[in-house]
Amino acid sequence: MVFQAVNDIHYFVAYARTAQSVHQIDQAFVFRHVLCLFTPLLQTSRNPPRASNMNFCSHCGAPVRVEVPSGDNRPRHVCPGCGTIHYHNPKMVVGCIPEWEDKILLCRRAIEPKYGLWTLPAGFMENGETTAEGAARETLEETGARVEILNLYSMISLPDINQVYLVFRAKLLHLDFVPGEESLEAALFSEADIPWDDLAFRTIHRTLMHYYADRKTGQYPMHMGEIFHKPRPPQS
Ligand SMILES: [Zn+2]
């Protein structure tokens, strides 16, 4: 019942935004007020989190609805005009630990989020590339450094923000690196100098904790884990 009401509100809002005639504009006015009344319901619904907001079908331009398609088990954006079901799936963030002797290369972010904090070179994977190619590309873009990717070192799921981090170990191939557009600076750090309190992301902090623990043994097995940003509901 609640889910159907939420569906209807989403549909009404999308409709209101595309209203053209005077008659429709009157309806749009009403629908906007309905939205205000039901906003708390939208925010506290127990429906699964929506992967992203979507108002219109990218195939035909019609307003989409949020509903559970036949044979599925979770809400999707569905176009009543052309029947397309729009699936939204997690994004991959790929990066690496560029190694040079006993040091690693970090960069300081020149963009939000986490402006001014340090991180490993990493970013969103692009279409048409492998995870390793993406990690090397991000490293070149953010630090000006070319690397040879060695092995996958950590894989961390972030289900509350729909991301998966993949971090590789990599060999830094030269020292004339320069910060890219998205970095304030790039620098080599020994373990004693790692700015632990100024790391941008929990994924990077955890990966580097594993890395320096493993370095004591000289073995670098892959580490798989997850980080939650919200309390998990009890599992039935
Ligand atoms: Zn459509």
151 phi, psi to nearest 5 deg: -150, 155
Query: Does residue 165 sit in the same domain as residue 190?
Result: yes
Instruction: Please tell me the distance between residue 78's alpha carbon and the centre of ligand 1 in angstroms.
Output: 8
Give the pLDDT score at 230: 85
**In this structure, what DSSP letter does residue 10 have?**
H
Instruction: Please tell me the distance between residue 47's alpha carbon and the centre of ligand 1 in angstroms.
Output: 23
- Please, what is the end-to-end C-alpha distance for the chain in angstroms? 22
Residue at 154 is within a domain: yes
Q: Which two tokens stand for residue 111?
A: 């963009």
Query: Does residue 219 sit in the same domain as residue 183?
Result: yes
Bridge partners (DSSP) listed for residue 78? 65, 85
Instruction: Please tell me the distance between residue 84's alpha carbon and the centre of ligand 1 in angstroms.
Output: 6
- Mean pLDDT per block of 10 residues along the chain (236 residues) reads 40 39 39 36 38 87 96 96 96 98 97 97 98 98 97 97 97 95 96 98 98 97 95 76
Instruction: Please tell me the distance between residue 12's alpha carbon and the centre of ligand 1 in angstroms.
Output: 16
Give the pLDDT score at 233: 78
Boundaries of domain holding 209: 90-226
Query: Does residue 77 sit in the same domain as residue 151?
Result: no
Instruction: Please tell me the distance between residue 81's alpha carbon and the centre of ligand 1 in angstroms.
Output: 5
Residue 27 to residues 9, 14, 16: CA-CA distances in angstroms? 13, 12, 7
Query: Does residue 112 sit in the same domain as residue 79?
Result: no
Query: Does residue 119 sit in the same domain as residue 163?
Result: yes
- Residue 113, preceding peptide bond in cis (omega within 30° of 0): yes
Give the pLDDT score at 70: 93
Query: Residue 224 and residue 203: Cα distance in Å, rounded?
Result: 11
Instruction: Please tell me the distance between residue 17's alpha carbon and the centre of ligand 1 in angstroms.
Output: 16
Give the pLDDT score at 48: 46
Closest by CA to 166, choosing from 117, 89, 224, is 224
Residue at 136 is within a domain: yes
Give the pLDDT score at 52: 65
Q: Which two tokens stand for residue 101?
A: 């002797």
- One-letter identity of residue 176: D
Query: Residue 205 and residue 198: Cα distance in Å, rounded?
Result: 10
Helix (H) or strand (E) holding 148, with range, is: strand 147-158
Query: Does residue 133 sit in the same domain as residue 216?
Result: yes
Query: Does residue 109 sit in the same domain as residue 202?
Result: yes
Residue at 32 is within a domain: no
Instruction: Please tell me the distance between residue 15's alpha carbon and the centre of ligand 1 in angstroms.
Output: 14
Query: Does residue 189 sit in the same domain as residue 95?
Result: yes
Helix (H) or strand (E) holding 188, with range, is: strand 183-189
Query: Does residue 124 sit in the same domain as residue 189?
Result: yes
Query: Does residue 64 sit in the same domain as residue 160?
Result: no
Query: What is the pTM assigned to this prediction?
Result: 0.76
Give the pLDDT score at 156: 98
Instruction: Please tell me the distance between residue 65's alpha carbon and the centre of ligand 1 in angstroms.
Output: 10
